[in-house]
Structure 1
């Protein structure tokens, strides 16, 4: 049993929002790293947990969100990282993956202490989720190549803040394994 989980944040996206045009190029850049993390986690039998905005659709479930994202403006950014049958899924309504979600309970039930994060948006949901993980005493690692941003300067500042103020470990993709905590 592992004490690590891969948390995939907000990657099921229709890209039909005001910041989408600024976000899409960064998602393109991060996509192969996210795919690689998914592959490594699955090969190591590490739980993969997708935590995604519900886009105000309170009756939706993960299958409907995936269908909407695949029918959105950039299905090529969704299809390669779509959840498999073993993936777990948590819906969120706000920026943090913990805010009013069952994620903390799920992680405790799985015996998870170390969170490897990937997804979008670095200066928003990734940052706020890192703070919430820190105050809940989780160890957090982020591969900078596997997170996407809207504003590159804010994203760089967010990564520095997570590392300095929230004890987040920034791990290059080539150095991240799921065999042991970095």
Structure 2
């Protein structure tokens, strides 16, 4: 049986604030599913790793994050800001592991792989925000590093990108792509049922 770790990615206030341009529709619903995954892992003694995205206010550590097209944008996810903190409703386990990333992938420039190896993990389960950025990028990188990857689609979320590209459509398309060669895609209910 494989050892699985749950990656709880970027469950931060910036995605829950109604005034935020990154506000995720039905945020409380996806957060509830994320908490169910955390509780299931806690009950089975599976490691839970919480990851937050954060940058220095001056953007020295941001690289191309905020000028990917060549035009600089304001730095967001600023360290110490309310927007970059965990949402108050997130279940934090006393023995959960915590790390900060500065890129979309949870592996880039972090100690994640060393932690996973030290725990004997060969499968990661992914939940959090945003479906098509940090969650998808981490899933693809994990696959390339030869981990098995479970993508818990309904425990991810992302802002709508317009009337045609709603959160539901983005999750559907991202899941279909990942399921065709990178990950196994699950609902929260199915993943918890299989885990337990």
Q: Same fold (TM over 0.5)?
A: yes
Deviation at 1:84, TM superposition (A): 2.7
Q: Structure 2 CA distance, aligned partners of 1:50 and 1:137?
A: 21
Kept in 2, the 8 Å contact 1:38–1:81? The answer is: no
1:90 is paired with a residue of what secondary structure?
A: strand
**In 1, Cα distance between the equivalents of 2:20 and 2:127?**
18
Question: Match of 2:31?
Answer: 31
Show structure 1 runs of 5+ residues with no match.
59-64
User: 1:134 & 1:20 partners in 2: Cα distance?
Assistant: 32
Structure 2-normalised TM-score? 0.74
* Unaligned 5+ runs, structure 2: 60-78, 161-166
Instruction: Determine helix, strand or coil for the equivalent of 1:79.
Output: coil
Where in structure 1 do 4 or more consecutive aligned residues deviate above 4 Å? 178-181
Greater C-alpha Rg: 2
Partner Cα distance (1:51, 1:178) in 2: 24
Residues of 2 paired with 1:146 and 1:16: CA distance?
Answer: 14
Contact persistence 1:35–1:81 (CA under 8 A): yes
Cα RMSD for the two superposed structures: 3.1
Aligned residues: 169
Counterpart residue number, 1:55: 55
Q: Secondary structure at the match of 1:52?
A: strand
1:102-135: CA deviation from partner (whole Å, max 9, x where unpaired): 1011100100011111100001101111110000
* 2:117 corresponds to 1:108: yes
Is the CA contact 2:153–2:171 (under 8 Å) kept in the aligned structure 1? Answer: no
Shift of 1:15: 4.5
